[in-house]
Structure 1
Amino acid sequence: MPEPRYATALGASDLTSITLLGHDLARDVMGNVSFGELAFWLATQRRPSRGETRVFEAVLAALADHGFTPTAIVTRLTYLSAPDSIQGALAAGLLGGGSRFLGVTEDSGRFLHSVLAALPGALPTDHAGWDELALETVRREREAGRFVPGLGHHVHKEGDPRTPRLFEIAAEENLLGPHLSLFAAIGRVHSDVLGKTLPLNGAGVCGAALADLGLPIELLRGFALLARTAGLVGQLAEELRRPVGKQIFLSVDSNNRSVAPEPYLVDPLGEPPA
Structure 2
Amino acid sequence: MSGGKDVADWWRTEIIDMEPGRIHLRGRPVQDLIGTTGFAPMIWLMVTGQTIEGPRADLFEAALVAAVDHGPQAPSIAAARMAATCGVGLQSAMATGLNMLGDVHGGAGEQAVMLYDAALAAGPGDAALGDALDRWRADHGRYLPGFGHRFHKPVDPRAPRLLALVDAAVEAGAVAGAHARIARAIEAHLAAERGAPVPMNIDGATAVIYAELGCPAPLARGFFGLSRSVGILAHSWEQMQQGGRNKGPTPPHYRWTYDGD
Structure 1 length as normaliser, TM-score? Answer: 0.82
Unaligned runs of 5+ in 2: none
**Could you tell me whether the CA contact under 8 Å between 1:151 and 1:200 is conserved in 2?**
yes
Specify the alignment match of 1:12 in structure 2: 17
The 1:72/1:179 distance shift into structure 2, 3 A limit, reads same
Unaligned runs of 5+ in 1: 263-274
Specify the alignment match of 1:36 in structure 2: 40
Residue 138 in 1 paired to residue 137 in 2?
no
Specify the alignment match of 1:221 in structure 2: 221
**What is the alpha-carbon distance in structure 2 between the residues aligned to residue 250 and residue 38 of structure 1?**
37
Amino acid in the other structure paired with 2:64: L
SS of residue matched to 2:190: helix
**What is the alpha-carbon distance in structure 2 between the residues aligned to residue 89 and residue 114 of structure 1?**
37
Amino acid in the other structure paired with 1:249: G
Counterparts of 1:217-256 in structure 2, within 5 Å, are 217-243=217-243, 246=245, 248-249=247-248, 251-256=250-255
**Could you tell me whether the CA contact under 8 Å between 2:85 and 2:239 is conserved in 1?**
no
Counterparts of 1:1-80 in structure 2, within 5 Å, are 1-2=1-2, 3-4=4-5, 5-6=8-9, 7-26=12-31, 28-68=32-72, 69-80=74-85
More displaced stretch, 168-177 vs 61-70: 168-177
**What is the alpha-carbon distance in structure 2 between the residues aligned to residue 61 and residue 98 of structure 1?**
20
Specify the alignment match of 1:191 in structure 2: 191
Counterparts of 1:92-241 in structure 2, within 5 Å, are 92-116=96-120, 118-119=121-122, 124=124, 129=125, 131=126, 133-141=128-136, 145-174=141-170, 175=175, 177-241=177-241
Task: Tell me the number of residue pairs that the alignment of Structure 1 and Structure 2 aligns.
Answer: 250
SS of residue matched to 1:13: strand
Q: Deviations over 1:185-215 (max 9, x none)?
A: 1112212223332121111211121011012
**What is the alpha-carbon distance in structure 2 between the residues aligned to residue 258 and residue 104 of structure 1?**
30
The 1:74/1:257 distance shift into structure 2, 3 A limit, reads closer
Give 1:143 shift: 6.7
**What is the alpha-carbon distance in structure 1 between the residues aligned to residue 249 and residue 127 of structure 2?**
53
Give 1:102 shift: 2.0
Structure 2 length as normaliser, TM-score? Answer: 0.86
SS of residue matched to 2:85: helix
Amino acid in the other structure paired with 1:169: L
The 1:253/1:34 distance shift into structure 2, 3 A limit, reads same
More displaced stretch, 250-259 vs 90-99: 250-259
Q: Percent sequence identity over matched residues?
A: 28
SS of residue matched to 1:173: helix
**What is the alpha-carbon distance in structure 1 between the residues aligned to residue 249 and residue 133 of structure 2?**
45
